[in-house]
């Protein structure tokens, strides 16, 4: 039995008594406490509703922080989860009626929010924006792409390594023999997945279920569609929201996509580049600043009708892009996507039309309230609390220092002469290079104590040891094709 069909799956509460009253009215039996680790994966623990008290929303519930990636050491492991009553929703993926609450993390010894809790970072970022006097709200609208596969397998041991994926709509299955089941064609040709109708788009109904589930959970969705890559790539767009709220929604988005795929007997992945020679999955992030209910990014007459504030914000993103990518494209696989071609946004320029630019200015509408900038280099493996906060801080740094983004570049970058191309900066080519850039350029993240030096150091250390070194130590299968006869 699932509970996603309930007409009011979200609590709509603001206080602990309100959310507990909602739970009692809805017949809730269990409460699931969800929180995010430093790399950006949701973790959880569950308790019966009767075991949750009003006081727990203030005092917190204990857990072992030493077992969570990027958190505490074994000798300082005790941590607290602080449920946020405003985030309550009936979780559609449990058999027993379950209330999910998104939590922040606290340090019981210091009696304060935990400095490595990325949700706390995002809350500080919103407070810092108001205190800056520049704006009072930052809206974010991520376009997170993903793949849905029918099969995935992988293994790496001392003497063998492989991975394999499959999708019934993949172009590589046009020649699948009859003995493996009927082959009814309608395979998407390579890089031609944008926008054919069913039956070629075999996942339209599944994406519809994902959207319906998210809408039930209070997430306002816009378009959903198949993406460019053959083999199951899709995208669902969410209506823009303030920073912390959108980061919360991004976590729910990934949760819903994965669980709806699992219910359908498939598997969803936000891994940026799972298929060789196909477009990867990005997360273009639309963002804008507002103050007193008025948009700040629009000014009539300039390039793309950008205001000076917007131009400085763009300059901040471009100036700090190499460091930003440590948070915004945070995996070794991210840099399989960020290569020339494949519409990859690798060039440190801005443009109203050019999709290979790191920053694009959408031109669909000219109303001031729709004016925004789009940072195209991130991907959906990012921890949204850290990534959104870092982007906003980079933009604010550009405004504070009145940085100049230079001239826009609206031509096809890949048709430019080599001499001109050599003068255009590009994003880092590896996670290691992005981490080096973050190490050298992070003062802008420390403004308002939004990020702390300790968090940045812990993040860099974790990424280098657990991810960069893990890949560097292992032979790659293609190395045998190149070197086994050396």
List residues with catalytic annotation: 64, 143, 145, 227, 235, 284, 355, 374, 376
CB 115 within 8 A of CB 88: no
Give 15's contacts (C-beta < 8 A, 6+ positions apart): 85
CB 386 within 8 A of CB 124: no
Which of 98, 10, 29, 23 has its CA nearest to residue 54?
23
Instruction: Give the β-pairing of 30-36 and 98-107.
Output: parallel
Helices (H), 184-337: 204-216, 243-263, 308-328, 334-337
d(CA 328, CA 463): 13
CB 298 within 8 A of CB 146: no
- Cis ω on the peptide bond leading into residue 243 (within 30° of 0)? no
CB atoms within 10 A of CB 414: 10
CB atoms within 10 A of CB 132: 15
d(CA 461, CA 465): 6
Which of 104, 46, 44 has its CA nearest to residue 68?
44
Instruction: Give the β-pairing of 137-149 and 267-269.
Output: antiparallel
- The DSSP symbol for 95 reads S
Which of 176, 275, 264 has its CA nearest to residue 232?
275
- The DSSP symbol for 423 reads T
| Three-state DSSP class for residue 93 | coil
CB atoms within 10 A of CB 45: 14
Which of 107, 112, 105, 63 has its CA nearest to residue 84?
105
Helices (H), 160-203: none
């Amino acid at each position: 039995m699932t509970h996603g069909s309930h007409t009011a799956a979200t609590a709509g509460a603001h206080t602990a008594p309100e959310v507990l009253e909602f739970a009692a009215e809805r017949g809730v039996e269990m409460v699931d406490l969800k929180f995010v680790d430093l790399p950006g994966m949701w973790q959880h623990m569950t308790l019966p509703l009767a075991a949750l008290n009003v006081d727990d929303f203030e005092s917190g519930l204990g857990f072992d922080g030493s077992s969570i990636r990027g958190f505490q050491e074994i000798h300082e492991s005790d941590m607290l989860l602080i449920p946020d009553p405003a985030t309550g929703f009936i979780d559609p993926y449990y058999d027993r009626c379950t209330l999910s609450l998104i939590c922040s993390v606290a340090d019981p010894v210091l009696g304060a929010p935990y400095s490595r809790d990325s949700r706390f970072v995002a809350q500080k970022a919103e407070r810092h924006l108001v205190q800056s006097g520049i704006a009072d709200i930052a809206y974010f609208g991520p376009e997170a792409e993903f793949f849905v596969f029918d099969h995935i397998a992988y293994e790496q041991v001392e003497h063998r390594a492989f991975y394999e994926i499959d999708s019934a709509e993949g172009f590589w299955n046009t020649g699948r023999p009859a003995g493996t089941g009927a082959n009814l064609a309608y395979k998407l040709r390579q890089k031609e997945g944008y926008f054919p109708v069913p039956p070629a788009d075999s996942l339209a109904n599944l994406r519809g279920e994902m959207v319906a589930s998210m809408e039930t959970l209070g997430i306002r969705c816009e378009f959903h569609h198949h993406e460019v890559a053959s083999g199951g790539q899709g995208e669902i767009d969410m209506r823009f929201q303030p920073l912390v709220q959108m980061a919360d929604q991004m976590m729910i988005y990934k949760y819903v996509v994965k669980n709806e795929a699992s219910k359908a007997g498939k598997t969803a992945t936000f891994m940026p580049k799972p298929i060789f020679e196909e477009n990867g999955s990005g997360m273009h992030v639309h963002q804008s600043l507002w103050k007193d209910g008025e948009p700040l990014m629009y000014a009539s007459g300039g390039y793309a009708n950008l205001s000076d504030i917007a131009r400085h914000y763009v300059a901040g993103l471009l100036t700090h892009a190499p460091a930003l990518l440590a948070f915004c494209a945070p995996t070794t696989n991210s840099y399989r996507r960020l290569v020339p071609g494949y519409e990859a946004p690798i060039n440190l320029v801005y443009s109203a039309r050019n999709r290979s630019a790191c920053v694009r200015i959408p031109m669909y509408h000219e109303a001031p309230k729709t004016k925004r900038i789009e940072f195209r280099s991130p991907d959906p493996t990012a921890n949204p609390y850290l990534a959104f906060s870092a982007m906003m801080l980079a933009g604010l740094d550009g405004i504070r220092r009145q940085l100049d983004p230079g001239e826009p570049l609206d031509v096809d970058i890949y048709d430019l002469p080599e001499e001109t191309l050599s003068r255009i900066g590009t994003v880092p080519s590896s996670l290691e290079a992005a981490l080096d850039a973050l190490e050298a350029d992070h003062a802008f993240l420390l403004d308002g104590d939004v990020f702390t030096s300790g968090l940045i150091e812990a993040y860099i250390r974790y990424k280098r040891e657990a991810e960069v070194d893990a890949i560097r130590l292992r032979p790659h299968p293609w190395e045998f094709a190149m070197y086994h006869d050396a």
